[in-house]
Amino acid sequence: MEEKLCEILQRFGFTQYEAKAYKALVGIGPSNASYISKVSGIPRARIYDTLESLVEQGIVMTEESAEGAKTYTCLPASVFLERMRNSWLADFSFAEKELKSLESQGGKPDNYISTLRGRDNILAFCRILIRRARQQIMLSIWNPMYNELLPDLEEAVEKGCRVRGITFEVSRPLAGLYNHRLNEYMSTLRAENWFILSVDRRELLYGHSAERDGNAFYTDDAVHIYLLEDYVWHDVLVNRLVEKQGEQLDHWILPQMEDFFNRKMLPSGLARTGYKGQT
C-alpha cells in the first residue's frame, strides 16, 4: 500500500525521494531532516536537497530555531490534494481544448473506423461513449465487462437514457436488458466473449470483451451501426421466441444453423473458426 501511494505521488510529478519525504512528513508531523531521513529511508546525503526541492515547490515549509536547527512541516493532505486536483483539471482542460482543435483540423473520412487495443483503453472508451449518450444505449455484453460498466450504465439511466440489449451470464441485468438463455451452445462461446456498444444510433464500439485484452473497433458509419444493432435485436428476439415456445424450438435452432453455415457447430470448430453465431 505504501509503495502504491509513492507511485501515485510520482505521477503527480514528484521524484521518488520527494514522494517518500512528503509521505513521511504527513505521517510524523513537523520534524528535522535527520528523523525524516530515518522514517522515509532516504539517504542522509540526499535528504537535504530533497526537502529543499519540496520547499521551492511550496509543499514543505521550514522554521529555523535560534540555534539554527531547521524544522520541516508539510502542507496538510487536504490542501495538497486540492492543489493537485486544481492543477490536474487545469492541465486536462487545456490539453482537451488543444487536442480537439488539432483533431478537427485534420478531418476524417465519411466512413470512419478506428482500432484500439487493451483492457484499459476499451473500458475508458466505453465510459466516454456512455457519458455521451442522450437517448439510448444498445448493448450485447458478457458478465465481467458488464460489471465493470454497471455504475456508468446506472448513471446514464438516471439521466434518462434507455438501455436496451442482451447480456450473457448476468444474474440481474438492468431493466431493458435481456439475459441470454443458458444452453450447451452458449457454454462453448465463453472463451470468445465479445461486446457491442451503440450510443444514440450515432457511435458504435465493438470487439473483444475488455478482459480478453484484445482489439475493439470504433465507428460512426451508419451501415455498421444498423447491422450490429439489428444483430442485437435478433438475439433478443430469438431468446424471447424460445422463452414462449419452450425447449422444442431451442433444439430446432442449432441444426438449422449448422445447415445454413454448412458446418457442425462443435466446440472444436468454434475454436478453429472463431464463429460467434447468433442463437
pLDDT tens string 217-243? 999 899 999 999 999 999 999 888 887
Q: Which domains does the chain have, with CATH numbers?
A: 2-75 (1.10.10.10), 113-273 (3.30.870.10)
Digit-coded pLDDT (tens) for 124-152: 999 999 999 999 999 999 999 999 999 99
Q: How far apart are CA 37 and CA 51, in angstroms?
A: 10
Report the distance separating Cα 7 and Cα 98, nearest Å: 28
Q: Which among 59, 68, 64, 69 has a CA at the least distance from the CA of 24? A: 59
Beta-sheet strand order (sheet of 162-168)? 113-117, 215-219, 203-208, 194-199, 136-142, 162-168, 177-179
CB 229 within 8 A of CB 235: no
Q: With bands split at pLDDT 50, 70 and 90, how would you rate the model's confidence at 267?
A: very low
Tell me the one-letter amino acid at 73: T
